[in-house]
Amino acid sequence: DPKSGLKILEDRREFRFEKAENGNLAIDATITLMATTGEVKIEDDKEGAFAIRTTPLLRLEGPVAKGHILTSEGLKDKDAWGKRAKWVDYFGPDSKGNTYGIAIFDHPTGFRHPTWWHARDYGLFSANPFGQGHFEKGADQHSGDHTLKNGESLTLKYRLFLHHGTPTEAKVPEAYSAWAE
């Protein structure tokens, strides 16, 4: 709390890196938030909880953009924004024409799975379990709020999956299923 100087929330992060023989890279992130001094309210916000910004080539718009978005639910490109899915993948060609992708997986044991996605055409790519009020038509603006009572915690689990090829070629659905088990 900036006013009192008290620590009100503890944020513990664990990262695990795994490189496959085919050159794909997986980075697992486990983030645990714990209220340490009274209640902590996390308010509904569209920006997200676990995010990256893609390279301009993977974006859908911009002078060099050649990318696409695909969700586990089959939604593509701009239709992915604000929707719930197990995973989302941005993919496209690099400067030499080789296709690669960046997927984020939301673990089934994570908070509010499957999460909402702030997947924007300009490369902002965020898993967001706190954005329901911003993403769902007719939802109350505070639908995504969550309060942690003193001593309570919640855990977010994500995998960043950097791969060669399209989502189909990289077998992203199978990679998600193997990780989710």
What is the rounded CA–CA span in Å between residue 85 and residue 8?
Answer: 31
| Sheet containing strand 124-128, strands side by side | 50-53, 124-128, 116-119
According to the model, what pLDDT value does residue 172 have?
97
Q: Tens-of-pLDDT digits for all 181 residues of the chain?
A: 667 778 899 999 999 999 988 899 999 999 999 999 999 999 999 888 899 999 999 999 999 999 999 999 999 999 999 999 999 999 999 999 999 999 999 999 999 999 999 999 999 999 999 988 898 888 888 889 999 999 999 999 999 999 999 999 999 999 999 999 9
Q: 120 CB contacts (<8 Å, ≥6 apart)?
A: 81
According to the model, what pLDDT value does residue 111 have?
92
According to the model, what pLDDT value does residue 1 have?
60
According to the model, what pLDDT value does residue 140 have?
87
DSSP letter at 165?
A: S
Global confidence as pTM: 0.93
DSSP letter at 107?
A: -
| 125 conformational bin, left if phi > 0, alpha if psi -120 to 50, beta if neither | beta
